[in-house]
């Protein structure tokens, strides 16, 4: 095993947040399950909705809540990985050791990603509770989990880039959270504002805008391909319908993570040259 991975994992699991964050995470998800269950069952009693609908509501609510929580936690573990070495004056020692910049980056990346994936794995039994009601199968569980892993890997790489670009952990963490807000909230705002203007123009001209996602012009729906919640929504489609929406989102997030990794390695090499 990469010695950097072993060192980072030991250090993280010995910290108080190593057990505190998973506990709080599962408590929040448990509260979300209870809320979604009571809301969906109350609607079932009034409207005669079947149990499969309750299962779908519980699963979707948990999936989006889980993604939102993990988006909030991912920068905590990645944005300070390299800046902590700068603050403790240990980065120079790492760069002059037998470890290459790629090994250092890989160790930091895997250690930060593994802890977030630990939270994801602990929530799988909670997500599986939806199976008891029906309406959800293994395919939905698999695609939702895979999509969440791709998003977290990409954002972990972005957090490491911020960590390599700044000298203070607080600055790197702030920029990482700003990136999360930009791709999660700003892209949605841009899309809905431009969509409203587009539909308003078509209404005035008397043309039908159409109700299909692919009827919307590409320049309007393009920002949503960078939105993690849209990416998760696209993963709920049947296997034959994953292309092009889900596939495009996957390519965009993988490319984002790859660019961030290349820039991080460049910053590490420059630090070693200095």
- DSSP class of 56: H
> In angstroms, how far is CA 272 from the centroid of its own chain?
31
**Arithmetic mean of pLDDT over the chain:** 88
* Average pLDDT of the segment spanning 147-165: 96
Residue 175 has pLDDT above 80, yes or no: yes
Task: Report how far residue 9's alpha carbon sits from residue 86's, in angstroms, rounded to the nearest whole number.
Answer: 19
Can you give the pLDDT at residue 267? 94
pLDDT band for position 215 (50/70/90)?
A: confident
- State the DSSP string of 146-213: HHHHHHHHHHHHHHHHHHHH-SSHHHHHHHHHHHHHIIIIIHHHHHHHHHHHHHHHHHHHT----SSG
Using pLDDT thresholds of 50, 70 and 90, give the confidence band for residue 12.
confident
Q: Check residue 13 and give its pLDDT.
A: 76
* Half-sphere exposure of residue 40: CA atoms within 13 angstroms, side-chain side: 22
Q: Go through 90-128 and write b for each residue having 16 or more CB atoms within 10 A of its CB, e for each that does not.
A: ebeebbeeebebebbbbbbbbbbbbbbbbbbeebeebbe
164-185 burial, b at 16+ Cβ within 10 Å, e below that, comes to bbbeebeebbebbbebbeebbe
Whole-angstrom distance, CA of residue 46 vs CA of residue 40: 10
Please compute the mean of the pLDDT values over residues 252-266 and round it to a whole number: 97
Q: Among 40-54, 133-147, 196-210, where is mean pLDDT lowest?
A: 40-54
According to the model, what pLDDT value does residue 52 have? 77
List of long-range contacts for 82-86, beta carbons under 8 Å, 24+ apart: 82/108, 82/160, 82/163, 82/164, 82/172, 82/264, 82/268, 83/163, 83/166, 83/167, 83/168, 83/169, 83/171, 83/172, 84/169, 86/167
Query: Does the bond joining 184 to the residue before it have cis omega, within 30 degrees of 0?
Result: no
pLDDT of residue 36: 86
224: DSSP letter: G
Q: Is the pTM of this model over 0.95?
A: no
**C-alpha span between 265 and 195 (Å, rounded):** 39
Q: What is the DSSP letter of 84?
A: H
- Residue 47: which pLDDT band, with cuts at 50, 70 and 90? low
Q: Which residues have a Cβ under 8 Å from the Cβ of 13 and sit 6 or more positions away? A: none
For the cut 90, the answer to whether the pLDDT of residue 253 exceeds it is: yes
* Domain locations in the chain as residue ranges: 3-273
pLDDT tens for each residue of 55-69: 888 899 999 999 999
């Amino acid at each position: 095993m990469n010695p950097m991975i072993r060192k980072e994992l030991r250090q993280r699991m010995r910290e108080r947040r190593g057990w505190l964050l998973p506990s709080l995470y599962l408590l929040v998800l448990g509260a979300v399950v209870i809320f979604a269950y009571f809301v969906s069952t109350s609607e079932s009693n009034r409207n005669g909705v079947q149990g499969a609908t309750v299962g779908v509501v519980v699963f979707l609510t948990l999936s989006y809540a889980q993604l939102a929580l993990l988006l909030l936690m991912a920068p905590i573990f990645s944005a300070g990985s390299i800046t902590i070495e700068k603050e403790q004056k240990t980065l120079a020692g790492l760069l002059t050791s037998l470890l290459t910049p790629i090994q250092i980056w890989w160790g930091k990346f895997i250690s930060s990603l593994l802890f977030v994936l630990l939270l994801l794995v602990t929530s799988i039994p909670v997500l599986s509770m939806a199976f008891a009601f029906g309406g959800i199968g293994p395919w939905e569980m698999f695609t939702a989990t895979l999509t969440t892993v791709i998003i977290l890997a990409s954002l972990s790489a972005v957090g490491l880039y911020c960590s390599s670009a700044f000298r203070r952990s607080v600055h790197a963490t702030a920029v990482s959270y700003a990136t999360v807000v930009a791709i999660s909230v700003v892209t949605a705002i841009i899309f809905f504002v431009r969509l409203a203007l587009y539909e308003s123009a078509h209404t005035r001209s008397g043309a039908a805008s159409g109700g299909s996602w692919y009827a919307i012009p590409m320049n309007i729906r393009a920002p949503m391909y960078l939105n993690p919640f849209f990416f998760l929504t696209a993963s709920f489609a049947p296997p034959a319908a994953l292309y092009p929406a889900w596939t495009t989102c996957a390519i965009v997030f993988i490319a984002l993570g790859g660019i961030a990794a290349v820039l991080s390695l460049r910053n590490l090499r420059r630090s070693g040259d200095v």
